[in-house]
Structure 1
Amino acid sequence: MKLNLRSVDLNLLPVFNAIMEAGQLSRAAEALGMSQPAISAALQRLRHTLGDELFVRTRQGMQPTPRALELHPLIREHLDGLRDVLDPGNRFNPATSERHFRLLSVDYFEMVVLPGLLKRLRERAPHIVLEVTVADDRMGDALHKAEADLAIDAFIPEDPKLARQVLLAEPLVVIARQGHPVLRGKCSKQAFLEAEHVVLPDRNRRLPLDQILQEPGWQRRTGVRVTQFSSMLAACSHSDMIATVPRRLAQQYGPAMGLQILPFPADLPPVPIFMLWSPAQERDPAHQWLRELLMEEAAQHP
């Protein structure tokens, strides 16, 4: 049986959100312009309504329960949406908005796109907050459940309901340390196959590199498997191992880390990097603005 919303005081939801973000009753009260006794009373009513303690008082502040952690992304998302809908102009103003966007990605995005994006963001939207967490095979569910606003990844879920747009098309290159005993300015197929490689975990989906490595005569030697692109760069700069990485990543960080950037020893099509989002976000002015800002920043990486 569904909960009857008429039995719920929806004014309690901003109180819940304020306690989650402030971590203390006194700070939440200050943020909402309420007294601390009023905040405490509202929390007690919310506990009774939801049948959960929601917060446990500790020396560090109000510690959320698992139920509170589960509820917070959804409540925050809907509160943000209500603010936009009820705004007198019904429009999103980036200069004054305090919107909190959650993005799912891998460290490629954080290293290549995020630095320039933050510069644009602070120039145009000084109060907006970005939160980037690791993309995984649950990204589709996270987008549909409003646990995240956008996902940015080369691996796209098999979900036709998700909206998508190509953010970047990324060629692949080989990196090796300067002074590598074999690779000096070029990488032949033989040298590529004889070297030890730094590789990322297999996500059970196929990109152009995976396809060519499945062909006869293209089996590479794995020296170490790491979790991030940044670890690939570091490992190659301090060993004779090599790696295949996105060209923009290599160009931005390779020279400073003493790495040479070499063409891949075969023709490979560029890897598309996608933006993905829930259709429910399609017409949200704030979401549209963020997507346009991302495309603008991506255009600076030709």
Structure 2
Amino acid sequence: MKLNLRSIDLNLLPVFAAIMEAGQLSRAADQLGMSQPAISAALQRLRHTLDDELFVRTRQGMEPTPRARELHLLLAPQLASLGDVLDPGNRFDPTSSQRHFRLLSADYFEMVMLPPLLQRIRHRAPNVVLEIAPAGDNMAEMLHKAHADLAVDAFVQEDSRLHREVLVEENLVVVARRGHPLFKGRCSKSRFLEAEHVVLPDRNRRLPLDQILNAPGWQRRTGARVTQFASMLAVSARSDMIATVPERLARHYAEALQLQVLPFPVSIPPVPIYMLWAEAQERDPAHRWLRQQLTDSMAPEPAP
């Protein structure tokens, strides 16, 4: 039997979208300016109307059911468009918003991009909260299922439902401790291959560096495998191991860690760093604002 739309309270749909995006009833209540009991009551009415649990309470928050995820993918862009049509003057106001955004990335983002982004946002949106979670091979699903708002990564997700934009292009450099016996201001191929390397885990995708290192005669000696760029820098600073890292990261921390920043032994293409988001977020005013803040925070400063 077809559902009678007149039997549905359309005021429940923004509540549903807020719970999906916030992941917790308390955050959804704050976002909508409602009390938590009112949010809980609205959710109960929606569960009864749609004959689905919609959300299951877990330690991490409200986990959406498959039906809820399907509904959100269909409803989110429609709700954003409807809001624009019915109330063009009611746009996202960063000065008063308490929006909670969740971003997926490696610690490269936290070490290089997050500080200028937060500095920019704090001047414009003092109550907006950013949460950073690790990026992984399930990144696309996390975005589709509204478990995250945005991802920043060097690995392109080949998914037609994802939007993507290049934020920056990173050159790769070699870092070694100052006073390293093999490196004094330059890095030759022979010295590069002679030294031990601290590396990241293989994520089953290929960057330009991987293509070079898989070529004949480029087998490097792996001395340690770590999970974060921060660990690569720390190990390089306190041992004779070297690391190949993004140049912005190396320049930011070279002085504090007493590291040499050396050009890679051969010419290597820069690595694009992408911003990725789901189709359901494309037209959301708050989401568009966040993407613009991230883009602007990474723009080069004008010359004096």
**What band does the TM-score fall into relative to the shorter chain?**
0.7 to 0.9
Query: Is residue 22 from structure 1 mapped to residue 26 from structure 2 by the alignment?
Result: yes
Q: Distance in 2 between matches of 1:97 and 1:219?
A: 52
| 1:248 and 1:301 in contact (8 A); partners too | no
Query: Is residue 132 from structure 1 mapped to residue 132 from structure 2 by the alignment?
Result: yes
Structure 1 residues 204 and 240: alpha-carbon distance in aligned structure 2, compared to 1, 3 A threshold: same
Consecutive unaligned residues of structure 2, counting only runs of 5 or more, are none
SS in 2 for 1:176: strand
Other-structure match for 2:34: 32
Across the aligned residues of Structure 1 and Structure 2, the Cα RMSD in angstroms comes to: 3.8
SS in 1 for 2:224: strand
| 1:53 and 1:65 in contact (8 A); partners too | no
Structure 1 residues 5 and 197: alpha-carbon distance in aligned structure 2, compared to 1, 3 A threshold: farther
Q: Distance in 2 between matches of 1:211 and 1:65?
A: 42
Alignment of 1:84-103 (within 5 A): 85=84, 89-103=89-103
Per-residue deviation, 1:20: 2.7
Alignment of 1:147-186 (within 5 A): 147-186=147-186
SS in 1 for 2:183: coil
| 1:54 and 1:64 in contact (8 A); partners too | no
Structure 1 residues 224 and 89: alpha-carbon distance in aligned structure 2, compared to 1, 3 A threshold: same
Structure 2: which amino acid aligns with 1:122? Answer: R
Per-residue deviation, 1:145: 2.7
Q: Distance in 1 between matches of 2:40 and 2:161?
A: 42
Per-residue deviation, 1:211: 0.6
Query: Is residue 191 from structure 1 mapped to residue 181 from structure 2 by the alignment?
Result: no
| 1:175 and 1:261 in contact (8 A); partners too | yes
Structure 1 residues 148 and 179: alpha-carbon distance in aligned structure 2, compared to 1, 3 A threshold: same
Structure 1 residues 53 and 144: alpha-carbon distance in aligned structure 2, compared to 1, 3 A threshold: closer
Other-structure match for 1:262: 262
Per-residue deviation, 1:257: 1.1
SS in 2 for 1:152: strand
| 1:166 and 1:272 in contact (8 A); partners too | yes
Structure 1 residues 214 and 97: alpha-carbon distance in aligned structure 2, compared to 1, 3 A threshold: same
Structure 1 residues 225 and 156: alpha-carbon distance in aligned structure 2, compared to 1, 3 A threshold: same
Alignment of 1:229-244 (within 5 A): 229-244=229-244
Per-residue deviation, 1:56: 7.7
Q: Distance in 2 between matches of 1:203 and 1:272?
A: 16
Other-structure match for 1:115: 115
SS in 2 for 1:222: strand
Structure 1 residues 112 and 5: alpha-carbon distance in aligned structure 2, compared to 1, 3 A threshold: farther
Structure 2: which amino acid aligns with 1:139? Answer: M
Deviates more, 1:287-296 or 1:276-285: 276-285
Per-residue deviation, 1:11: 6.0
Alignment of 1:38-117 (within 5 A): 81=80, 85=84, 89-117=89-117
Q: Distance in 1 between matches of 2:232 and 2:83?
A: 42
Query: Is residue 245 from structure 1 mapped to residue 249 from structure 2 by the alignment?
Result: no
Structure 2: which amino acid aligns with 1:128? Answer: V
Per-residue deviation, 1:167: 0.4
Structure 2: which amino acid aligns with 1:94? Answer: P
Structure 1 residues 55 and 208: alpha-carbon distance in aligned structure 2, compared to 1, 3 A threshold: closer
Structure with more contact order per residue of length (Cα contacts < 8 Å, sep ≥ 6): 2
Q: Distance in 2 between matches of 1:280 and 1:11?
A: 19
| 1:102 and 1:131 in contact (8 A); partners too | yes
| 2:139 and 2:151 in contact (8 A); partners too | yes
Per-residue deviation, 1:43: 7.2
Structure 1 residues 301 and 186: alpha-carbon distance in aligned structure 2, compared to 1, 3 A threshold: farther
Other-structure match for 2:289: 289
SS in 1 for 2:290: helix
Q: Deviations over 1:226-276 (max 9, x none)?
A: 111111111111111000000000000121012111111110111110111
| 1:84 and 1:92 in contact (8 A); partners too | no
Q: TM-score, normalised by structure 1?
A: 0.79
SS in 1 for 2:244: strand
Per-residue deviation, 1:204: 1.3
Per-residue deviation, 1:280: 3.1
